[in-house]
Amino acid sequence: MNEITGNEIIHQYLRHNKKFPHVLCAGCGHGIVLGTLIRAIHTLAIPKDDVVIVAGIGCSGRLAVYVDFNTVHTTHGRALTFATGIKMANPKLNVICIMGDGDALSIGGNHLIHAARRNIGVTALILNNNIYGMTGGQSSPATPEGSTTMTNPYGQLDASFDTVALARGAGANYVARGTVFHVKRLEKIMVEAISRPGFSVVEAITPCHTQYGRKNRYKTPVDMYKWLKKAAVPIDRYEEMTEEQRTDRLPIGVFVAEDRSGFEERYLSLQAQMRAKGGK
């Protein structure tokens, strides 16, 4: 019964004048992430007009076109810069950025750390599928060391980014990680990420069996979801684990949850102050 209600909610938020079918592969996790995002927005009862979805380039970038919000499909890696401009131009808008791991951590890495440092009031949703999917399965900065990809046919040599540590280190106000296997938890995270002030980073682990799995011993989508089920461990349990037990495990949950005001709020109060003083 729950699923049916969920679908009914989702249908209210899809664009019915958009030419379907969508671009995603069967078994892709991106649709699950989009579903949780829609339900989170529904839970928060934010009017569609007040939501701006800003997306980057890649499979995740295409999600924006299907949903009935204000949607901006930007350039590769630059979604956060557009989002920053939109939020500063109209702080009343709820600005949510959808990016992939290549988008946010590679070509857009600089923008991610500066959005975090600035603590701009934007929610950054990073769909991490460990690979460049749309372009055919090349390595991304989130590809695990040792993996086989089209650009690392003999095994990935460099280490992958820890999105959570990166976002926390750069100063994000809210940092969480979830997976598409743990949907309810991801939905809860998203509700919280959107309602917090300042910069929120949500890393959603979403499998790509087409480009990552098939070259790395996860032949079917089911294999990949089984991996997620096994690898993901709630943060509190992860902390109690020994170093050995932590091997190949991925902590999920909320890592940072603060209430520092966003850059746009600080700017507005500075502006009010300066104007009250009548200039200098």
Partner 1 sequence: MARPRKRKEIFALGNEAVVEGALLAGCSFYGGYPITPSSEIMEIMAARLPLTEDGVFIQLEDEIASMGAIIGASLAGRKVLTATSGPGFSLMQENLGYAIMAETPMVLVNVMRGGPSTGLPTSPAQGDVQQARWGTHGDHPIIVLSASNVQECLDMTITAFNMAEKYRTPVILLLDEVTAHTREKIEIPNPGEFEVFSRTVPSMPPEWYKPYEETVRGVPPMPPLGSGYRFHVTGLVHDRNGFPTQRPEEIVELLERLHRKIDQFFYDIQLVDTIETADADVVVIAYGSVARSAELAVRQARENGVRAGLLKLKTLFPYPRRQTEKVLAHARTLVVPEMNMGQMSREVKRVNMGRASVRTINRIDGQIVTPSEILKVIMQG
Q: What is the contact surface with partner 1 in residues (CB under 8 A)? A: 15, 17-19, 48-50, 52, 54, 64-65, 68-75, 78, 80-86, 88-90, 92-93, 110-111, 114, 267, 270-271, 274-275, 279
Closer residue to partner 1 in complex, CB, 37/254:
37
What residues have CB less than 8 Å from 109, skipping those under 6 apart? 77, 141
Report the nearest approach of partner 1 to the CB of residue 60 (Å): 14
What's the chain's Rg over C-alpha atoms?
19
26 token code pair: 């069967």
Report the nearest approach of partner 1 to the CB of residue 231 (Å): 33
Report the nearest approach of partner 1 to the CB of residue 111 (Å): 6
Closer residue to partner 1 in complex, CB, 80/191:
80
In the chain, the amino acid numbered 85 is G
Closer residue to partner 1 in complex, CB, 69/212:
69
The residue with tokens 């919000």 is 69
Report the nearest approach of partner 1 to the CB of residue 104 (Å): 14
The widest CA-to-CA distance across the chain, in whole angstroms, is: 67
Closer residue to partner 1 in complex, CB, 18/217:
18
The bridge status of strand 70-73 relative to strand 122-128 is unpaired
Closer residue to partner 1 in complex, CB, 144/169:
169
C-alpha distance from residue 250 to each of 49, 139, 142, 222 (Å): 36, 20, 13, 18
Report d(CA 112, CA 127) in Å as an integer. Answer: 14
Report the nearest approach of partner 1 to the CB of residue 73 (Å): 4
